[in-house]
């Protein structure tokens, strides 16, 4: 862990990114970069009318994520650790899934202007789960702006995320099947994950257990 200064945690909606980020930040005495979903004024409208509000929602997220990630440059990463509850480069997953061809072409021009300014994490943790598991979690946590999310959308997101991370090589990647863990309720699961992070050396590794 001493050589890992910037960790990004990723996963489909409901995977537990923010909870895990907060817990690991306490364990490793790290700062956090947390995505502010509730500040996007278009998000609730997007879930109700995806076609109409997809572009507004996506551009807002892109620029918001850009501003947050640029803040990392202000940190002294030789003396501090940062854990983010999202990976900037996943932004394109949502853009390709939700935007029309013309909208994506415009989005891509903006994305290409800023992507090289974004710092790359030294470790990415992908919280992988099946759609049924994620959909159940989303309904259980009962956030107003998420109640319009349909199961089909979660399924398509899972497919897109799995494809993205199957080809992802920009940073070392630790894939965790979240169905076998309870990082909020069981300290032993956090201990196990922390050991995986501290011992991580290979470019890619999968962590799972029977559930």
Average pLDDT, integer, range 165-188: 91
Q: What is the 8-class DSSP label of residue 104?
A: H
What CA–CA distance (Å, rounded) separates 10 from 21?
A: 10
User: b/e map of 160-185 (b: 16 or more CB within 10 Å)?
Assistant: bbeebbeebeebbbbbbbbbebebee
Tokens standing for 211? Answer: 């559930």
Taking 70 as the threshold, does the pLDDT of residue 63 lie above it? yes
Low-confidence winner among 80-84, 128-132, 159-163 (lowest mean pLDDT)? 80-84
As a whole number, mean pLDDT of residues 37-66 equals: 93
Look at residue 23 and tell me whether its pLDDT is greater than 90. Answer: yes
Domain range 6-207, CATH architecture:
3-Layer(aba) Sandwich (3.40)
pLDDT tens profile 135-146? 998 888 777 777
Q: What's the average model confidence in pLDDT over 168-190?
A: 91
Q: Find the farthest-apart pair of alpha carbons in the chain and give their distance in angstroms, rounded.
A: 48
3 or 184, higher pLDDT: 184
Rg (CA), the chain: 17
Cα separation, 143 vs 110, whole angstroms = 31
88 has pLDDT over 90: yes
**Average pLDDT of span 124-145:** 88
Please provide the DSSP assignment of 108-141 as one string: HHHHHHHGGGSPPPSEEEEEE--HHHHHHHHHHH
Q: Is the pLDDT of residue 117 over 80?
A: yes
Of 27, 15, 117, 18, nearest to 81 by C-alpha is: 27
Stronger pLDDT, 180 or 79, i.e. the higher one: 180
Is residue 187 predicted with pLDDT exceeding 80? yes
Query: What percent of the chain has a predicted confidence (pLDDT) above 70?
Result: 94
Mean pLDDT of the chain, nearest integer: 90
144 is catalytic: no
Q: Catalytic one among 3, 85, 152, 199?
A: 85
Q: In percent, how much of the chain has pLDDT > 90?
A: 68
pLDDT surpassing 80 at residue 78:
no
Contacting residues for 178 by C-beta, under 8 A, at least 6 apart: 11, 15, 16, 127, 128, 129, 133
CB 14 within 8 A of CB 135: yes
pLDDT(80) > 80? no
Output the pLDDT for position 76.
60
């Amino acid at each position: 862990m001493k050589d890992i200064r910037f960790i990004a945690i990723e996963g489909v909606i409901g995977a537990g990114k923010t909870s895990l980020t907060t817990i690991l930040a306490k364990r490793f005495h790290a700062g956090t970069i947390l995505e502010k979903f509730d500040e996007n004024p278009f998000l609730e409208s997007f879930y109700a009318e995806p076609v109409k509000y997809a572009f507004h929602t996506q551009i807002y997220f892109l620029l918001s994520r850009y501003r947050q990630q640029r803040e990392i440059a202000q940190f002294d990463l030789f003396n501090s650790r940062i854990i983010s509850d999202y990976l900037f480069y996943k932004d394109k997953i949502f853009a390709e899934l939700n935007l029309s061809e013309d909208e994506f072409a415009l989005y891509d021009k903006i994305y290409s202007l800023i992507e090289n300014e974004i710092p790359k994490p030294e470790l990415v943790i992908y919280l992988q789960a099946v759609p049924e598991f994620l959909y159940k979690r989303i309904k259980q946590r009962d956030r107003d702006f998420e109640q319009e999310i349909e199961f089909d959308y979660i399924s398509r997101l899972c497919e897109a995320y799995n494809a993205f991370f199957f080809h992802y090589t920009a940073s070392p990647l630790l894939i965790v099947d979240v169905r076998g863990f309870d990082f909020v309720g069981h300290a032993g699961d956090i201990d196990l994950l922390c050991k995986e992070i501290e011992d991580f050396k290979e470019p890619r590794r999968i962590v799972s257990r029977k559930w």
